[in-house]
Structure 1
Amino acid sequence: MQVFKFGGASVKDANGVKNLAKVLQDVGYDNTLVVFSAMGKTTNAIELVIKNYFENKSELQSSIQDVKKYHNEILLDLFENTQHPIFKKVASIFEDLDHFLSRNKSPDYNFVYDQTIGFGELTSTLIISEYLNSIGIQNNWLDVRNFIKTDSYYRRANVNWERTQIAIKENFDNKLLNITQGFLGSDANNFTTSLGREGSDYTAAIFAYCLNAQNVTIWKDVPGILNADPRYFENAQLLHSISYREAIELAFYGASVIHPKTLQPLQQKEIPLFVKSFLNPKDEGTKVVKDIRLSPNIPCYIVKKNQVLVSLSSLDFSYIVEENISEIFKLLHYYKMKVDVIQNSAISFSVCFENSYNNLEQLLQHLKAKFNVTSYENVSLYTVRHYNKQAITSIEKDKTLLLKQLTQETIQIVTK
């Protein structure tokens, strides 16, 4: 059993879908599960739909129409016969979207987000499944929500492993080529949940764990895991091999190639992970396994944009002690802030985090009741694993430093 995952860039248009079919033919697809993301930038487009639903109803139908048009153009490029059943299937999916948005009564943004966002994955997998069948690659389309069971923490749901393993064991036929959606699950009430942005990698790992898969391959538009994101750093190099531990560290700090939760279930059962290029599927890419040395042994750079840095000090110059820190973290948890860096001294405490749920103003008002508060928005957090002097110099050049923290293996720098 092997598990493949293809991201949106691999199937952003009809040529991408055709290339995907070629990759499967080149590398083989016996006893294979393939997990797909939404096509291209569909998730961003549906996020605009959700934003318009809450904030700009006059643009709602226009934004929905853009999503429909994008997928219809791909359909017309893949299927010459417009009477093919796939056209009705895709139309039915968008009818479901329209129906939900017209009937929904919940004011909860996170709930509405999860009920809406998954239409991208449902559409992409239906189109791909039908296309593969049409060219002789027989496959079985699965609704992932029948298999991955979660709690109701919308937009970042936690997997119920017991229920998920039972669902997969009882309903999955591993003798077939199976195709399903990444990113999605369902809660105890069968409402759709999502595993967090870029959660399709995690989906692949969940299935691999439950199926005792031989390996997992994530297919990207890059040669494998690089030591830096080429969008932000020059001369990025391919890492040929990397340990689970090191990959988990990089993922935790924000490396975009692998979702932070992906590696944990794979490590538990020592399932190898490969990251390869869908443009050059025969190349070796990067191998992630247990207790392997980083090769080549070079600094690894990570940057996270649009962060928030908040610095606190006590109103009466008293020490920031365990009681204060505990209260701060309770508030960060309550307002759903994902913490990336903390630093404290006798009378101050600084924390850098993501404001994913747009709760920053409420958090700051709460903190100002007990602390002096200084906040910086839209800051950048740079992390370098296995740093050297040259790496630090390159990060600090021409930037305003707000926070700097070093450990034996890692340096983190927050800049404006």
Structure 2
Amino acid sequence: MRVFKFGGASVKDAQGVKNVVNVLNETGHENTFLVVSAMGKMTNAMEEVVKAYFTDKTVLSDHLSEVENYHEAILQELFPNPNHHVFYRVRLLFEEVKGFLTWNKSPNYSFVYDQVVGYGELLSTTIVSAYLKEVGIENHWLDIRELIKTDDNYRDGTVNWTRTELLIKGAVEPNKLYITQGFLGSDANNFTTTLGREGSDYTAAIVAYCLKANSVTIWKDVPGVLNADPRYFKETALLNNISYREAIELAFYGASVIHPKTLQPLQRKEIPLQVKSFLHPKNKGTTVGKGIGIEPKIPCFIVKKNQVLMKLSSLDFSFIVEDSISGLFKLLHDNQMKVDLIQNSAISFSVCIDNKFNRLEDLKKKLSGKFKVVCQEHVALYTIRHFDDKSIETLKSEKQILLEQRGIETIQFVVKE
């Protein structure tokens, strides 16, 4: 069994869905398990639905209509017959969303988020499955929520591996093509949970682990894993081979091609991961596997935008040592701050954090009683893995450096944007 994952960019429109057919025709489609994300930017659009539900119900129907119209346009292009059964199935899914938003009484934002946002994947897989059948590719649509079981930590569910493996093995037969949703699972009460943003890669890894798959292929709009994000760097190069360990390091520092959770289950069963272009399916792309190292061994640039650089100084000039640092990390954890870099001296502590849950002001209030707090928002964190003198000088010549930290293989800079 092979596992293929198609992201939102690969199915963003009717042509993208047709290209999935091209990929399957090029690669074959027996013994294949497809994991498909929401179409295009529909996860973002569904997030706006949830936001409107909690903050301004007067625009709720407008946001829902936007999502409906997007999918309707794709349906009309793929299925000229307006009486095709897929139109009815899609309408039912939208009725489910509207029904939930009508009867829901829970004030828990994360719970509502998971029940609503996941419909992006249910819609995309319903459409892709129907189109594959329309062109003669028989497939079996599965509801991944019935197979991946998690706890009730909504928006970041933890997988119950024993239960999940049993369910997935029981649902899949050899020599068939399956299609299911990325990103989703369900808790013990069968409420939908999600695995975190970009969790579709993780879904593919979960399925591969449970089926002892031969490989996982992530189909993207880039030729594979590049040594830098082409949105921010002019010159990029393809990495042909990467070891699991190296890929985990790159993911840890923020490389966006591979989800951080994805690699761990694959490594445990030594399942190779390929990252390939859905536009050029015959090209080799990048292979992540056991003991491959990194080839070619060149500097890899990773950038995280919209970070916060926080500097704390003790008010009484006392040392910042173990007990105060442990308290600091507890506060950072309690306020859902992702720590990307730390640096400390005797009486100061600097930390680069991701304020994605907008808890910075609350954190500053809690810290101000014990520390002088200086924050610089809208900074960027640049990481160079396998750096050399040229890569460092190139970055320094173009950026205003606020903080630098160097290790044996990795150097990081916090820079002013």
TM class, shorter-length: over 0.9
Greater alpha carbon shift after TM alignment, 331-340 vs 2-11: 331-340
- Counterpart of 2:213? 213
Identity in percent: 62
Tell me the CA shift for residue 144 of structure 1.
Answer: 0.7
1:153 alignment partner in structure 2: 153
Q: After TM superposition, which residue ranges in structure 1, 4 or more long, deviate above 4 angstroms?
A: none
Partner of 2:273: 273
**TM-score, structure 2 normalization:** 0.97
Equivalents in 1 of 2:112, 2:367: separation in Å? 29
Deviation at 1:293, TM superposition (A): 2.8
**Stretch of structure 1 that moved more, 117-126 or 356-365:** 356-365
Q: Which shows bigger deviation, 293-302 or 393-402?
A: 393-402
Instruction: Indicate the residue corresponding to 1:345 in structure 2.
Output: 345
1:238 positional shift: 0.5
CA change 1:56–1:393 in 2 (3 A) is farther
Q: CA deviation at 1:399?
A: 2.6
Q: Indicate the residue corresponding to 1:44 in structure 2.
A: 44
Calculate the aligned-residue CA RMSD, in Å. 1.2
For 1:308, the aligned partner's letter is: V
Moved more, 334-343 or 259-268: 334-343
Where 1:30 maps in the other structure, the secondary structure is coil
Deviation of 1:79 (Å): 0.4
Alignment deviations for residues 297-344 of structure 1 (CA, whole Å, 9 cap, x no partner): 110000011112221122211111111111111112112222111111
Structure 1 stretches lacking a partner, 5+ long = none
1:62 matched to which residue of 2?
A: 62
Shift of 1:114: 1.3
Partner of 2:94: 94
Deviation at 1:57, TM superposition (A): 2.0
CA distance in 2, matches of 1:153, 1:375: 31
Q: Is residue 2:224 matched to residue 1:229?
A: no
Q: Tell me, in whole angstroms, the C-alpha distance in 1 between the residues paired with 2:110 and 2:21.
A: 35
| Structure-1 separation of matches of 2:363 and 2:5 | 37
The runs of 5 or more residues in structure 2 that have no matched partner are: none
For residue 338 of structure 2, what is the amino acid of its counterpart? K
By how many angstroms is 1:40 displaced? 0.7
Matching residue of 2:202 = 202
| Segment of structure 1 superposing worse, 166-175 or 319-328 | 166-175
What SS class does the counterpart of residue 397 from structure 1 fall into? helix
The answer for the alignment partner of 1:330 in structure 2 is 330
What's the offset of the Cα at 1:276?
Answer: 0.5
The residue that corresponds to 2:183 in the other structure is: 183
Map of 1:225-374 to 2, 5 A cutoff?
A: 225-374=225-374
Give per-residue Cα distances to partners, 1:244-288, cap 9 Å, x unaligned: 111110011110110011111111111111110000000011111
Letter in 1 for 2:188: A
How far apart in 2 are the matches of 1:167 and 1:151?
A: 16
CA distance in 1, matches of 2:50, 2:308: 24
1:70-116 CA-partner distances (Å, limit 9, x unpaired): 00000000001111111011111111111112222222222221111
Q: What's the secondary structure of 2:295's corresponding residue?
A: coil
CA distance in 2, matches of 1:405, 1:238: 26
Amino acid in the other structure paired with 1:37 = S
Verify the 8 A CA contact 2:133 2:139 in the aligned structure 1: yes
- After TM superposition, give the deviation of residue 15 of structure 1 in Å: 0.8
TM-score when scaled to structure 1? 0.97
Deviations 1:358-395 (A, max 9, x none): 22222221122222111122211111100111211222
Higher alpha-carbon deviation: 114-123 or 148-157: 148-157
SS at 1:193's partner residue? strand
User: Any idea what the Cα deviations from partners look like across 1:145-195, whole Å, max 9, x if unmatched?
Assistant: 111111222222221212211221233334321100111111222221111
Per the alignment, residue 132 of structure 1 pairs with 132
Give the whole-Å Cα distance in 1 for the aligned partners of 2:340 and 2:210. 30
1:373 is paired with a residue of what secondary structure?
strand
Q: Aligned-pair distance for 1:49?
A: 1.4
**Match of 1:353, SS?**
strand
Q: Give 1:345 shift.
A: 1.1
Partner secondary structure for residue 364 of structure 2: helix
Q: 1:347 offset after TM fit, Å?
A: 1.0
Residue 228 of structure 1 aligns to a residue whose secondary structure is: coil
Does structure 1 conserve the Cα–Cα contact (< 8 Å) formed by 2:246 and 2:293?
no
1:12-51 Cα shifts (integer Å, max 9, x gaps): 1111101111110110111110000000111111112122
